[in-house]
Structure 1
């Protein structure tokens, strides 16, 4: 059992590392081609069918790139496809989802205070929601609404807001954010696998057969590629959020997730505008910063909005605080079964991340983490498996804030 636990932990690390590597490759190529596409310029004397060209300098050399809106007159001898980055990113991400959240469903996926279901049911809900997301998105794109980029984007955003809320009604806060990222990333990767690449293959087949390719395939692929471009930054945030409980572990976490999509659009709008040489919209950074400040406020929103009593803050040091004996009892009872030299929780063989909370000194040393992850947010205990109460969380907040004054 010990050896298996070590193996599983390293398997998780390997899957996470692979996911990061492939995501960098996919995002890098995606951002590059969007910048290239927006920077294309037309000039007289270009080859027939060429839509635009771009001169670039990098690595001590110059690159002359031309784009054909539909296709060149003849099939080139060598054609480089950009698809495996997307597929590998999704596959490694799904593997990580299975290793961490499906295999550890009782700890990381299920919060029985939110939805009391068995692990198999929770996993089925997860799989169904991710698959259903692509179906809904694809139907919307193929509907008459798909002819309006603005109208389609607004409806798609409404779907994402609903899913932001919906996932928080199904899973732990950590899993809700992760699933929202997987939901969005699945749409992006499916765009590549089911729409963009097949459309490009149709164009290639027409060229080989000597037929003139239909321009509609390129137009459809371009729309899906544009969606992928604007969804990338929110997905990155959601994938990183499991390290920051103030993002996923608070009451307004679904609102935070919804606002992140707007921030991502604002940032991409800035870069896309600059790449297209249509100006320098600095206002997007101001708007994004203001929204991020709102998010910070929402993570520690005044408790009058949540229906909870406000807590006072008086005191000097953590261990000298009059609240410390009660805090110690709370942490020992709710946290130390995992965060100890010899964890007592079944399946936990080492204190998670090496954090031990089994002595007075250790509790004081980790006061900030306890405050953030178990006081200000509900990130810990995972899924509230040890049934920490609202009064106990309020005690942790009071203890920390008093000692910091």
Structure 2
């Protein structure tokens, strides 16, 4: 079995794990946010609030202590591994897909000419620098003014979205904005929230009264995580929707997604706090989404001159192979009706997955996908639209393997 097939299955395993752990993290996070907002605080005693809930045929009585109970409970459950596992599996997927496949997914020579090592360095450093900058802002005097801090952070997000779009491919730009946001969220848990909770626990065990400042600091970071969750999900899904990532205005689309995250979370936060249904938030969300749709098609309304795509060494390797012309003819006859800048297949608004195969450079860029989808497997083209013979698929396999330098 060659390396490309093993890599493909490794990506699948990492993605599966990422989805599983993300469900666990987001599920527990949303549950505790709703629980905290819905607590009955009109009670006597040291507890900050309590709640009775029914689920699965049983009744649950839950109490919250703002700082800590008088004595340390014998059994204490920590909610942290869901966050850590989500981030670790996400980084694994980033490495497998965007670092190992940098020439295919991360780099676009029509955006910036980068060597794979340069693109990977920018990718990794941006996550580290982004977290450090965010953490310093939160620890500054702005931390005492949450609203001003949130406005400044949004402005920084817009700048980062634009910056990523000037360096990486559209797909990678939105993915990295989501990865940076997710890194901030997990670092909030690992480096702020959990350490602060451990300080409180240590004080209780030592018989000291915990300082309430640790809970205040953790609450600020938890609030940020609350509002960042939905934009991260959108950005992680965006790589499947070219109208989101392949637009010239993808950075602005990504920025507006964060506003939708705020409006949606505000509705649920208000509802869970029993303050009523603020339905205007859904109107605002629909309006913002309408602007996003408009921005996605705005470049199509302009009559810009078509420029010749610049070829990277990765693309040239596949175009220079002796079998390329024959493979290009197969692709043009069986794939380009759907995978093109102008899609002619009814029911498709854009090329599926953003994969376009209507030029030599684009065919070379998607060489691995063509190999896996039409050479190794029969996933493409769909049987109802075109048909590749066993000989055709063998030609694709031979072209890819030889162009990559033999069995890999």
- Regarding TM over 0.5, the answer is yes
1:365 to 1:299, Cα distance in 2 relative to 1, 3 A: closer
Map 1:223-262; keep pairs closer than 5 Å. Answer: 223-262=220-259
Partner of 1:300, secondary structure, is helix
Matched, 1:131 2:128: yes
How many angstroms apart in 1 are the aligned matches of 2:153 and 2:138? 9
1:302 to 1:115, Cα distance in 2 relative to 1, 3 A: closer
1:344 to 1:235, Cα distance in 2 relative to 1, 3 A: farther
1:271 to 1:114, Cα distance in 2 relative to 1, 3 A: same
Matched, 1:287 2:284: yes
Number of residue pairs the alignment of both structures matches: 345
Deviations along 1:251-307, whole A, 9 cap, x unmatched? 111110010000011000000000001111001001100111111111111655x56
Partner of 2:208, secondary structure, is coil
Q: How well do the aligned residues superpose, as a CA RMSD in angstroms?
A: 2.8
1:227 to 1:385, Cα distance in 2 relative to 1, 3 A: farther
How many angstroms apart in 2 are the aligned matches of 1:23 and 1:293? 28
**Does the 8 Å CA contact 1:110/1:116 hold for their aligned counterparts?**
yes
Matched, 1:63 2:60: yes
Map 1:3-402; keep pairs closer than 5 Å. Answer: 3-46=2-45, 48=46, 50-301=47-298, 303=300, 306=302, 308=304, 358=331, 360=333, 362-364=335-337, 367-368=344-345, 372-373=350-351, 380=356, 385-386=361-362
What runs of 5+ residues in structure 2 fail to find an aligned partner?
Answer: 307-314, 365-408
TM-score, normalized by length of structure 2? Answer: 0.79
Aligned to 1:401: none
Partner of 2:40, secondary structure, is coil
1:19 to 1:67, Cα distance in 2 relative to 1, 3 A: same
1:153 to 1:383, Cα distance in 2 relative to 1, 3 A: farther
Deviations along 1:120-159, whole A, 9 cap, x unmatched? 0110001111111101100110001110110000001011
Q: How far is 1:41 from its partner?
A: 1.2
Partner of 1:372, secondary structure, is coil
Q: How far is 1:42 from its partner?
A: 1.8
Q: How far is 1:378 from its partner?
A: 7.0
How many angstroms apart in 1 are the aligned matches of 2:128 and 2:84? 16
How many angstroms apart in 1 are the aligned matches of 2:157 and 2:358? 25
How many angstroms apart in 2 are the aligned matches of 1:302 and 1:23? 34
How many angstroms apart in 2 are the aligned matches of 1:26 and 1:381? 38
How many angstroms apart in 1 are the aligned matches of 2:106 and 2:4? 19
What runs of 5+ residues in structure 1 fail to find an aligned partner?
Answer: 311-333, 346-350, 389-405
